[in-house]
């Protein structure tokens, strides 16, 4: 018999937007597990499944048949809508009404225009809708989107204590950590080489997965026998060569991942940033000892260095080779401590992860839903779309034009190929005589072309003498590392002191 929470008959419905579709992602896993659990308790739930995100592998998670799945693929990718959010907003409204609940909690995610569509839906639905923002990642973009739409958000959910502190200036912030399912636990091993595993999106910009392949190469060169399994797919798949110690598995069903964790000894994660890694928690719960980078959010909340796992210090701009050496050293330190120490770490990792259950997570989310349903609805009166307003602030066009004028006679590189650059492409075209190309931290963009210009990794070609940072949201981060990334080049910011 399915469980029913007290007051469930009067519970608001839950509608979660997935702006990248069903792809290999921790956020997708979170959303599916949450609606499945709540549906099992009798709560009305739905998923807004957008068109598949370009360059990312599709996932096929097991969704409870009681969950109402709304396929928005025919509307096209929301990342490419250029702020034309009306069709998406109409779909959000129709899905909210389809749940048939007196009140519906709507969770937009990951993309500013998903929040924009929620803002437009809020205007159309009046008292029925409550919009709750989720902060999944320790990133300037996520924080900027949440602050931009703060007036309409009934709550902001932070998935870790560090994210809660980062958003402490906002009203209604609530920490609700992720939950992972209970699963088969692997048996402790005392012989044979260690088995390492990474599972998740094969992404370089945030996950830095190429450092894991390099880590395996370092271990191999040191004569340290091991096996590294890379589970998943994504835009950085081409950066991961196969090797004698590496095996790749793509297209693994989400419910089968636990079996892989149970068959391995160490979970490795070289991320630049996290919220609270679902993959890490699930691996720990299965008996994998985590060897992960010490990012600001999530890692230290679940892992105690040397006791329940290994934390590796690595700044955002740590070169891949150095990061790989540090990861390799941590793997060896954990394994070479001996079977007794490894088994103790394994036991403590499982115990730490047991606190993060799907059941506890769903209970906390449901309590929050009841709270916001009992409060007056919020409203939104500004421009709904994020694109065209959230990425480029007022005066941005004039600032970029002035910066480029000041660099006449220089050989200029533009750092950043994202939304800010795309929206101000017409300004860049005016200065085609002095711009020689782009630089971007995303290694998957290196060697491509944007607006006819080549894209390089920093520091770019030697002939470049100056760099203009084309970003509002990420400019402070880029300027902070510019003295190393662009040593010898003049670097100009548009919104902060350069």
Per-residue pLDDT reduced to its tens digit, 452-484:
899 999 999 999 999 999 998 889 889 988 999
83 and 225 together in one domain: no
Q: What pLDDT is attached to residue 236?
A: 86
CB atoms within 10 A of CB 65: 8
Here the CATH number for the domain that contains residue 418 is: 3.40.50
Question: Is 383 part of a structural domain of the chain?
Answer: no
Question: Is 240 part of a structural domain of the chain?
Answer: yes
Q: What pLDDT is attached to residue 418?
A: 87
Nearest to 223 by CA among 245, 248, 241: 245
**Given pLDDT bands bounded at 50, 70 and 90, which one contains residue 21?**
very high
Dihedral, CA atoms, 108, 110, 115, 117, nearest 10 degrees? Answer: -80
Number of domains in the chain: 3
CB 498 within 8 A of CB 402: no
Is residue 353 predicted with pLDDT exceeding 70? yes
228 and 142 together in one domain: no
The predicted model scores a pTM of 0.84
Rounded Cα gap, residues 373 and 371, in angstroms: 6
Question: Is 390 part of a structural domain of the chain?
Answer: no
425 and 486 together in one domain: yes
Which one has a higher pLDDT value, 429 or 157?
Answer: 157
233 and 146 together in one domain: no
**Given pLDDT bands bounded at 50, 70 and 90, which one contains residue 313?**
very high
Nearest to 324 by CA among 238, 235, 252, 239: 239
Residue 320 is part of which domain span? 195-353
Question: Is 388 part of a structural domain of the chain?
Answer: no
Q: How far apart are the first and last CA of the chain?
A: 62
146 and 216 together in one domain: no
User: Do the strands 449-450 and 453-456 form a parallel or antiparallel pair, or are they unpaired?
Assistant: antiparallel
Q: What pLDDT is attached to residue 186?
A: 72
Nearest to 272 by CA among 304, 240, 234, 313: 313
Domain boundary residue, one of 325, 353, 381: 353
**Given pLDDT bands bounded at 50, 70 and 90, which one contains residue 497?**
low
Q: What pLDDT is attached to residue 389?
A: 64
Q: What pLDDT is attached to residue 473?
A: 85
Q: What pLDDT is attached to residue 20?
A: 94
Question: Is 417 part of a structural domain of the chain?
Answer: yes
For the segment 222-228, the average pLDDT, to the nearest whole number, is: 96
138 and 159 together in one domain: yes
For the segment 216-241, the average pLDDT, to the nearest whole number, is: 91
Is residue 1 predicted with pLDDT exceeding 50? no
Is residue 4 predicted with pLDDT exceeding 50? no
14 and 142 together in one domain: yes
Is residue 255 predicted with pLDDT exceeding 50? yes
**Given pLDDT bands bounded at 50, 70 and 90, which one contains residue 395?**
confident
Is residue 489 predicted with pLDDT exceeding 90? yes
Question: Is 450 part of a structural domain of the chain?
Answer: yes
List 231's β-bridge partners, or say none.
Answer: 199, 249
Question: Is 453 part of a structural domain of the chain?
Answer: yes
217 and 291 together in one domain: yes
User: Do the strands 289-293 and 310-312 form a parallel or antiparallel pair, or are they unpaired?
Assistant: parallel
Is residue 241 predicted with pLDDT exceeding 80? no
25 and 146 together in one domain: yes
Model confidence over 259-288: pLDDT tens digits?
Answer: 999 999 999 999 999 999 999 999 999 999
231 and 106 together in one domain: no
- Ranking 168-172, 231-235, 278-282, 457-461 by mean pLDDT, the lowest is 231-235
Highest mean pLDDT, choosing among 50-64, 125-139, 418-432: 125-139
Average pLDDT, the chain: 91
Q: What pLDDT is attached to residue 6?
A: 45
Is residue 243 predicted with pLDDT exceeding 80? no
Here the CATH number for the domain that contains residue 68 is: 3.40.50.2000
Question: Is 187 part of a structural domain of the chain?
Answer: no
277 and 423 together in one domain: no
Instruction: Dig out the tokens for 73 from the structure.
Output: 């693929």
For the segment 412-416, the average pLDDT, to the nearest whole number, is: 96
Please calculate the CA angle 32-178-335 and round it to the nearest 5 degrees.
110
Model confidence over 116-163: pLDDT tens digits?
Answer: 999 999 999 989 999 999 999 998 889 989 999 999 999 999 999 999
**How many C-alpha atoms does 65 have within 13 Å on its Cβ side?**
0
For the segment 420-439, the average pLDDT, to the nearest whole number, is: 91
Q: What pLDDT is attached to residue 474?
A: 87
**How many C-alpha atoms does 217 have within 13 Å on its Cβ side?**
14
Q: What pLDDT is attached to residue 139?
A: 87
225 and 169 together in one domain: no
């Amino acid at each position: 018999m399915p469980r029913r929470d007290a007051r469930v008959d009067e519970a608001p419905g839950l509608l979660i937007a997935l702006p990248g579709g069903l792809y290999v992602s921790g956020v997708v896993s979170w959303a599916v597990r949450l609606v499945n659990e709540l549906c099992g308790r009798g709560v009305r739930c739905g998923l807004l499944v957008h068109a598949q995100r370009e360059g990312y592998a599709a996932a096929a998670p097991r969704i409870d048949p009681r969950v109402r799945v709304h396929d928005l693929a025919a509307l096209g990718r929301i990342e490419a809508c250029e702020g034309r959010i009306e069709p998406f907003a109409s779909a959000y409204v129709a899905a909210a009404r389809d749940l048939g609940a007196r009140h519906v909690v709507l969770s937009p995610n990951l993309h500013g225009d998903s929040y924009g569509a929620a803002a437009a839906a809020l205007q159309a639905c009046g008292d029925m809708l409550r919009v709750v923002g989720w902060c999944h990642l320790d990133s300037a973009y996520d924080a900027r989107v949440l602050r931009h739409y703060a007036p309409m958000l009934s709550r902001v959910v932070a998935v870790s204590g560090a994210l809660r502190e980062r958003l402490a200036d906002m009203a209604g912030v609530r920490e609700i950590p992720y939950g992972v399912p209970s699963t088969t636990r692997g048996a402790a091993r005392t012989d044979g080489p260690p088995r390492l595993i990474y599972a998740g999106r094969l992404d370089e910009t945030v996950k830095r997965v190429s450092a894991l392949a390099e880590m395996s190469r370092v271990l191999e060169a040191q004569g340290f026998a091991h096996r590294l399994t890379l589970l998943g797919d994504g835009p950085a798949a081409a950066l991961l060569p196969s090797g004698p110690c590496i095996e790749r598995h793509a297209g693994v069903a989400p419910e089968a991942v636990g079996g892989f964790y149970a068959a391995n000894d160490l979970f490795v994660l070289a991320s630049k940033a996290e919220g609270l890694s679902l993959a890490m928690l699930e691996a720990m719960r299965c008996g994998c000892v985590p060897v992960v980078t010490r990012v600001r959010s999530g890692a230290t909340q679940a892992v105690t260095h040397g006791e329940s796992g290994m934390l590796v210090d690595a700044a955002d701009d740590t070169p891949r080779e150095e990061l790989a050496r540090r990861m390799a050293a941590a793997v060896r330190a954990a394994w070479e401590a001996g079977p007794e120490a490894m088994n103790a770490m394994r036991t403590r990792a499982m115990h730490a992860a047991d606190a993060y259950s799907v059941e506890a997570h769903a209970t906390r989310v449901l309590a929050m839903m009841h709270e916001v349903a009992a409060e007056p609805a919020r409203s939104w009166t500004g421009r709904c779309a994020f694109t065209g307003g959230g990425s480029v602030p007022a005066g941005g066009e004039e600032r970029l034009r002035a910066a480029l004028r000041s660099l006449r006679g220089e050989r200029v590189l533009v750092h950043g190929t994202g939304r800010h650059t795309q929206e101000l492409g017409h300004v860049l075209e005016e200065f085609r005589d002095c711009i020689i190309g782009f630089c971007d931290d995303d290694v998957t963009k290196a060697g491509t072309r944007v607006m006819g210009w080549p894209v390089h990794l920093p520091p770019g070609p030697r002939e470049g003498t100056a760099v203009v940072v084309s970003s509002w949201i990420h400019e402070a981060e880029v300027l902070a590392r510019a003295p190393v990334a662009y040593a010898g080049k003049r670097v100009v910011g548009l919104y902060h002191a350069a």
